[in-house]
Amino acid sequence: MSSYIIALDQGTTSSRAVLIDEKAQIVGIEQLAFTQYFPEAGWVEHDAQEIWESQQKVLLRLIEKHKIAPTAIKAIGITNQRETTILWDKKTSQPIAKAIVWQDRRTADFCTQLKEEGWESYIQQSTGLIVDAYFSATKVHWLLENIPNAKEKAQKGELCFGTVDTWLLWKLTEGRSHYTDHTNASRTMLYDIRKLQWDTKLLEKFDIPTSLLPEVKPSRADFGYWQYEGHAIPILALAGDQQAALFGQFCWEKGTAKNTYGTGCFILMNVGETAPFSYEGLVTTLACGLNETPLYALEGSIFIAGAAIQWLRDSLHLIDNAEDADYFAQKAPEDHQVYFVPAFVGLGAPHWDMYARGALYGLTRDSDKNTIIRAALESIAYQTRDVLEAMRRDTQILLSHLKVDGGASKSNFLMQFQADILNKEVIRTQTPESTALGVAYLAGLQAQLWTPNELIKNYNNTNKVFSPTQRSDWRSLKYRGWKKAIKKTKTK
């Protein structure tokens, strides 16, 4: 009988269940979207119950559709949208409010206050994070302060806090397991990433009782069982989506990195067993390793990447489909000096300028649609280089190649330009499912379904390698132009 791993991939807009066979290949995917709530400007919520129900539905549908016997499922792994915050009643398992999603900005003023009170450097030292509404700590605080009776109940030990991994685990195990993993804990802004424990000083500051918190385990561990048709199926891995993708991209060694080109970009670099302090606007986070020793990653996110191509399509109507961008870009002159800075919502890592706005520089009478499209694609690669250079300054690590995935990595033009502007090989994967694969690899390792060597041997996920072809004077000239454009765009 064949053996399988099931990865539950709980994302911001949909819940997915992915079936992986014993050769670590994806053989089935089920997906369901769920409701996004925007009750006020800057607020984003999910219904935790609906997240669970959609996740349960796709899990059962996957098993039924592929006629998988319960005994054939060797393990379940959970990967999830990170930072999203849920509080629920320990006895009834009922959420006490809607989940506050990572994108939610309602606690931005509280974060400003924290900075004014001088918490920034302590928080960065302990948690590796910058003070921002993005992370869970201020969301938990908000729920405790604003939901009637929440604080009293929390103090009496009647509530549980969890990010989405913890919530799904609680539901799958019918309230028997209240755990999270290193990667998710490191996104709460409450976890000391070097001591590997909840930070009591921060818990005190945010008025969060310890009884609320899940126990933290390595990403590969025994997290409990899901009872299905009389069988106990072990849950053996939990990991936040970006860290799961880093593992799924086989970035297992210090100095390896991946970039996911979606709406924005998520760049993570494995920096080994010592946590660096970032002076360059990056966050330090816990990552998944091959064993229990914690690994660290530097992470930089770019707000607008593929979304710049969407903008060309939907707002300027320069293209009908995102895939057409390459065709036009190739018709523009290679040495043009037009720069498109897509700072539509400010600039993310490593610049961090909330007030910057988008701009086009260097237009001349012969600038045309082709050049603008080319400049938009190029901007994605320049922003990626900015983040990778910041990582190099923080760690002195020299990157050997970049692993890539995500929707916009389908652009051959962008990938070649990325290789040229970095002067590094860019390696694109066959399937875009690095996240689900990553957590499945972890669960399968824990279940002893495969060894690391077997995974690498069976791994046949490379789609294309893009090698640099340009001269260094071309690269320097182009990148210098970009740096000038960024300088002109920044407000500080």
Q: Contact positions toward ligand ADP, by CB under 6 A?
A: 262-263, 306-307, 309-310, 322-323, 325, 406-408, 410-411
Nearer to ligand ADP, 101 or 123 (CB): 101
Tokens of 225: 């069982």
Candidates 247, 463, 246, 268; CA nearest to 384 is 268
Nearer to ligand ADP, 388 or 408 (CB): 408
Taking the complex as a whole, the smallest distance from the CB of residue 300 to ligand ADP amounts, in Å, to: 16
Residue number of the CB atom closest to ligand ADP = 407
Nearer to ligand ADP, 224 or 306 (CB): 306
Nearer to ligand ADP, 143 or 246 (CB): 246
Nearer to ligand ADP, 303 or 479 (CB): 303
Taking the complex as a whole, the smallest distance from the CB of residue 409 to ligand ADP amounts, in Å, to: 8
Burial (CB count within 10 angstroms: exposed 0-12, middle 13-18, buried 19+), residue 195: exposed
Taking the complex as a whole, the smallest distance from the CB of residue 440 to ligand ADP amounts, in Å, to: 19
Nearer to ligand ADP, 124 or 409 (CB): 409
Instruction: Cite the DSSP H helix spans in 396-465.
Output: 412-422, 434-446, 452-458
Taking the complex as a whole, the smallest distance from the CB of residue 404 to ligand ADP amounts, in Å, to: 11
Taking the complex as a whole, the smallest distance from the CB of residue 332 to ligand ADP amounts, in Å, to: 15
Nearer to ligand ADP, 137 or 332 (CB): 332
221 vs 234: CA distance, rounded Å: 10
Nearer to ligand ADP, 278 or 379 (CB): 379
| Nearest-10 Cα torsion for 93, 103, 405, 358 | 170
Taking the complex as a whole, the smallest distance from the CB of residue 421 to ligand ADP amounts, in Å, to: 16
Taking the complex as a whole, the smallest distance from the CB of residue 250 to ligand ADP amounts, in Å, to: 19
Taking the complex as a whole, the smallest distance from the CB of residue 79 to ligand ADP amounts, in Å, to: 14
94 vs 194: CA distance, rounded Å: 33
Is residue 258 within 8 A of residue 246, CB to CB? The reply is yes
